[in-house]
Amino acid sequence: MKSKPQGLVLKKFFKTLRQKKVILALVLVFSTAAVALFLFPQKENSAKLVLTAEGAKFKANFIFPSKTRNDFEQVLSSVNAPVALLDGVEFELESTASSALAFALPVAADLKIDKKEISFSGSHTYPNIAKIDPEKFKFPQSTNLAVFTQSAKAFLKNSQSLPFEFSGWLDENLNSKNGYYIGVFNQDSAVLVIFQPEKIDFGRLSNLEFKEAEAPSYKKEKLANDTDVHFVKLDDEKNLSAAIFEKDGWVYLIFSESPLQETIDFYLSENGGSVEFPESSGKPASFIGWFRNTGNFTSSRYLYRLLLGQNLESAEAFKKIEEARFSLLGNSFSGLIKFK
């Protein structure tokens, strides 16, 4: 059997996360595990999560050490949860997302649950996932989400209202030999993509004509350090624009409904506070994600809409998270979730 292209896998992975049934099921089993571990004093708050496929259905099982079924029946009764959860939680997905998830099963993860923190590590069986030595970049201090990935086109096309002509330009030019670094920041959830293409056709941007544009869609300006910055007006109604420029061999692509100048100055003139991503692990990675929702930089409704689409019922669960990190290193993964 041939391996599926990794870009297709990640596209389906994001689509899987946006399935309401999966989100609600996993939130439910994680919450039940946490309640159980909190209510029963023990030296080590640990558990194992095993995700398997049973025919067309998926099943999530928690295995708790040194606890009897009667113990957990008492816990579930105290929180008005069905005792059937002890037999696992089953859920189904639409066929495309289902095949993508099934291909990586079984997935096993060891969990450690502290007072306001869950850490986990585990493995999966999806074959031949490529790994790259990630670079480290500065992102605006208001960054709520940062991702290192090897596929970015699907995310951009699903999250932005892009004209057909510009979407076609991305198909030909959004190619990177060293992965993609995506940041979401500011109250309007502006999106930044940093990538390193073999070549890029900036000249064609000036020839793009958008049928619904009321004014010329393209202009070029020379800004700090004599850098050519290309501006493209994408959606008049939403006031969505893009800015594209090159610095030190990397291309910076910014989408925003607010003025772009502040973000451009941040990178070209190094103005403003910053955070670094990703944290250095010294190991090649396939995917790294960081969700940050703390202090003056709490996530906006635009970010939740970006992640969840119209299924905003799940946003309340995200609002209770202060920080979350996830790293996929080939066939192993690890992560951390901190709660407020």
Q: Same structural domain for residues 166 and 69? A: no
CA distance 110 to 48: 5
Highest mean pLDDT among 13-17, 119-123, 167-171, 318-322: 167-171
CA distance 285 to 314: 29
Q: Same structural domain for residues 59 and 75? A: yes
CA distance 109 to 128: 20
Q: What is the mean pLDDT of residues 269-273?
A: 84
| Domain termination residue (choose one: 84, 101, 124) | 124
Least confident of 182-186, 194-198, 298-302: 298-302
Q: What is the mean pLDDT of residues 147-152?
A: 89
Q: Same structural domain for residues 283 and 136? A: yes
pLDDT (tens digit, 9 = 90+) per residue, 41-82?
A: 444 566 677 767 666 666 667 676 655 556 656 655 655 556
Q: What is the mean pLDDT of residues 258-280?
A: 90
Whether 202 shows a pLDDT value over 90: the answer reads yes
Looking at this protein, which amino acid is placed at residue 154?
A
pLDDT (tens digit, 9 = 90+) per residue, 152-192?
A: 888 888 888 888 889 999 999 999 999 999 999 988 889 99
In the block, residue with structure tokens 């609600």:
24
**CA 167, 173, 177, 181 torsion: positive or negative?**
negative
Would you tell me how many other CB atoms lie within 10 Å of the CB of residue 258?
Answer: 15
| Domain termination residue (choose one: 96, 124, 152) | 124
Q: Same structural domain for residues 242 and 151? A: yes
Q: Same structural domain for residues 72 and 133? A: no
Supply the pLDDT for residue 281: 67
Q: Same structural domain for residues 259 and 186? A: yes
Supply the pLDDT for residue 321: 82
Task: Report the chain's mean pLDDT, rounded to a whole number.
Answer: 76
Whether 10 shows a pLDDT value over 60: the answer reads no
- pLDDT-based confidence at residue 135 (cuts at 50, 70, 90): very high
Domain holding 229, by residue range, is 129-340
Would you tell me how many other CB atoms lie within 10 Å of the CB of residue 31?
Answer: 13
The secondary element (H helix, E strand) that includes residue 137 is strand 137-140
pLDDT (tens digit, 9 = 90+) per residue, 319-337?
A: 778 888 988 888 888 888 8
Supply the pLDDT for residue 80: 58
CB 220 within 8 A of CB 192: no
| Domain termination residue (choose one: 104, 124, 144) | 124
Look at the chain and report how many structural domains it folds into. Answer: 2
